[in-house]
């Protein structure tokens, strides 16, 4: 069975449509599912998490965001120039935390308290994609999707893609410059997984690419753009599958 990995980090941005409590309520839907999971949780607000969620199948790890590796480079980000219509959301700290998903995955694999060979990253608040008026029992549907995906096994990086993937040459020509300024939803971002060897390689490649972007461009970009750059280099074992947006197909099609 796969181990589910996620993280909750507070106070990295501001969103008028979603509060910390909203994220916690979404995350508790994930925490309540009886699957093996490792959750990295901001030590500043871990008191908000009730003890009932710390169970035999749930490992909670307090973290200090400022001790993560990219914070060593934050003073070098002097040319942060991404195009966004929500600058209060897409802050430097927020994008740093998005880029740390693979780092948290690596830490989970190193710990591996449940002796898993497969790991799956799921965004902490991903339950919101099941909150639709068309689904009369979103909680049950969400839980079943998690129970199903933990049984699946892949050799490589199984990852949700919101676009059909044409040739690498197409991406190289169209997005080689824009990838440093505009968000590219080639990958959905909220879920990826696979075998431990592939995921550790992915983490190493993301770390190197993030540091390269910071040192060469004095900026940082969304994690999905970093992943796109790795795809363009054609040395990451991606196994993309199609999802038709930020909705339940991200989990159901895994």
Interval 15-59: pLDDT, tens: 555 677 888 888 999 999 999 999 999 998 888 887 788 889 999
Here the tokens at position 77 are 């980000």
Average pLDDT over residues 95-124: 97
Percent helix, strand, coil in the chain (nearest 5)? 45, 15, 40
Average pLDDT over residues 200-225: 97
Of 89, 102, 81, 77, nearest to 182 by C-alpha is 81
Can you give the pTM of this predicted structure?
Answer: 0.91
Identify the band that residue 179 occupies on the pLDDT scale cut at 50, 70 and 90. confident
Average pLDDT over residues 147-155: 96
Identify the band that residue 245 occupies on the pLDDT scale cut at 50, 70 and 90. confident
Identify the band that residue 133 occupies on the pLDDT scale cut at 50, 70 and 90. very low
Query: Which parts of 20-159 fold into alpha helices (H)?
Result: 20-31, 92-99, 101-111, 138-149
R_g (Cα) of the chain, nearest Å: 17
Q: For the sheet with 118-122, list strands across it.
A: 58-63, 37-42, 3-8, 118-122, 187-195, 157-161, 238-242
What is the predicted pLDDT for the residue at 22? 80
pLDDT digits (tens, 9 = 90+) for 58-89: 999 999 999 999 999 999 999 998 999 888 88
What is the predicted pLDDT for the residue at 16? 55
Average per-residue pLDDT in the chain?
A: 88
What is the CATH architecture assignment of 3-252? Answer: Alpha-Beta Complex (3.90)
What is the predicted pLDDT for the residue at 17? 59
């Amino acid at each position: 069975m796969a181990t589910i990995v996620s993280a909750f980090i507070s106070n990295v941005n501001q969103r008028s449509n979603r509060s910390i409590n909203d994220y916690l309520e979404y995350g508790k839907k994930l925490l309540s599912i009886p699957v093996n999971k490792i959750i990295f949780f901001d030590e500043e607000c871990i008191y908000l998490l009730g003890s009932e969620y710390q169970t035999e199948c749930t490992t909670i790890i307090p973290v200090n965001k400022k001790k993560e590796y990219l914070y060593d480079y934050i003073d070098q980000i002097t040319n942060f120039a991404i195009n966004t219509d929500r600058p209060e959301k897409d802050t430097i700290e927020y994008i740093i935390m998005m880029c740390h998903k693979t780092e948290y995955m690596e830490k989970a694999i190193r710990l591996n308290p449940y002796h898993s060979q497969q790991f799956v990253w799921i965004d902490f608040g991903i339950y919101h994609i099941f909150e639709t008026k068309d689904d009369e029992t979103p909680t049950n549907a969400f839980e079943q999707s998690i129970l199903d995906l933990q049984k699946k096994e892949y050799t490589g990086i199984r990852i949700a893609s919101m676009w059909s993937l044409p040739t690498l040459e197409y991406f190289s020509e169209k997005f080689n410059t824009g990838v440093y300024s505009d968000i590219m939803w080639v990958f959905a971002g909220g879920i990826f997984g696979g075998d431990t060897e592939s995921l550790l390689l992915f983490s190493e490649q993301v770390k190197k690419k993030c540091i390269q972007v910071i040192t060469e461009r004095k900026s940082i970009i969304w994690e999905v753009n970093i992943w796109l750059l790795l795809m363009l280099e054609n040395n990451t074992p991606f196994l993309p599958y199609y999802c038709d947006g930020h909705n339940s197909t991200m989990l159901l099609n895994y």
